[in-house]
């Protein structure tokens, strides 16, 4: 589920705050509640070589998460069917294997004809005002600044504990 306001469609410089998505539990999650926070958005998968990044994401969340920073995971099955499970399966996997407590959203598509509008915003310069990009694989990270603007796209292979990310968080 997603809600996209008419203001977003007509805005010259839309922000992430215009989106509402669904959590793994099916509840609405409005990005407008994130104003003033740095945000890391990451597309995840349970059967990927990068899946152990859940551990680093959880450590990052435990250390930095709260009033100034949030991680939001978006499971997707776009790459070699590496996230085949249901939202319930994903929640159980993340909790049991990695103790994930950062917010996880419902499974979405992050590329192709059925790309979720949030990922369209993240990857389209005309919408995000910063750069065009493609989601290359699972665990690609999008850093959003405190004003809701795309700051940087981080490659999937890059650890969530990379100095570039830690420096951004400590700015």
pLDDT at 8: 44
Q: Per this entry, what is the length of the chain? A: 171
3-state secondary structure 30-78: EHHHHCCCEEEEEEECCCCCCCCHHHHHHHHHHHHCCCCEEEEEEEECC
Checking if the pLDDT of 26 tops 50, the result is yes
pLDDT value of residue 50: 97
Average confidence (pLDDT) over 68-85: 97
Q: Which residues are catalytic?
A: 48
Q: Distance between CA 171 and CA 14 in Å, rounded? A: 24
pLDDT at 4 over 70: no
- Looking at residue 90, its pLDDT comes to 98
Query: What pLDDT is recorded for position 13?
Result: 60
Asked if pLDDT for residue 106 goes beyond 70, the answer is yes
Q: How many CB atoms lie within 10 A of CB 171?
A: 8
- Whether the predicted pLDDT of 146 surpasses 80: yes
pLDDT at 12 over 60: no
User: Which domains, and CATH codes, for the chain?
Assistant: 36-170 (3.40.30.10)
Q: pLDDT confidence of 124, banded at 50, 70, 90?
A: very high
Angstrom distances, CA of residue 128 to CA of 13, 14, 53, 114, 135? 7, 7, 26, 19, 15
**Sign of dihedral through CA atoms 65, 71, 75, 79?**
negative
Reported confidence tier of residue 15, pLDDT bands at 50, 70, 90: confident
Cα of first residue to Cα of last residue in the chain, in angstroms, is 34
Q: What is the DSSP string of the chain?
A: --EE-HHHHH-SS--GGGEEEEBTTS-EEEGGGGTTSEEEEEEE-TTSTTTTHHHHHHHHHHHH-SSSEEEEEEEB-TTTT---S-HHHHHHHHHHHH---S-BBPPB--SSTT--HHHHHHH-HHHHSS------STT-EEEE-TTS-EEEEE-TTS-TT-HHHHHHHH-
Strands 28-30 and 19-22: antiparallel
């Amino acid at each position: 589920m997603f809600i996209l306001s008419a203001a977003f469609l007509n805005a010259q410089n839309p922000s992430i705050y215009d989106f509402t998505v669904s959590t793994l539990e099916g509840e609405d999650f409005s990005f407008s509640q994130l104003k003033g926070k740095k945000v890391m958005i990451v597309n995840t998968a349970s059967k990927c070589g990068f899946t152990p990044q859940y551990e680093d994401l959880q450590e990052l969340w435990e250390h930095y998460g709260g009033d100034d920073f949030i991680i939001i995971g978006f499971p997707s099955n776009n790459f070699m069917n590496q996230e085949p499970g249901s939202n319930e399966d994903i929640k159980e996997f993340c909790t049991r294997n990695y103790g994930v407590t950062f917010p996880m959203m419902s499974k979405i598509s992050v590329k192709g004809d059925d790309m979720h509008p949030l990922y369209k915003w993240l990857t389209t310069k005309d919408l995000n005002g910063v750069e065009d990009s493609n989601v290359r694989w699972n665990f690609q990270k999008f850093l959003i600044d405190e004003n809701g603007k795309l700051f940087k796209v981080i490659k999937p292979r890059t650890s969530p504990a990379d100095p570039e990310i830690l420096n951004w968080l400590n700015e």
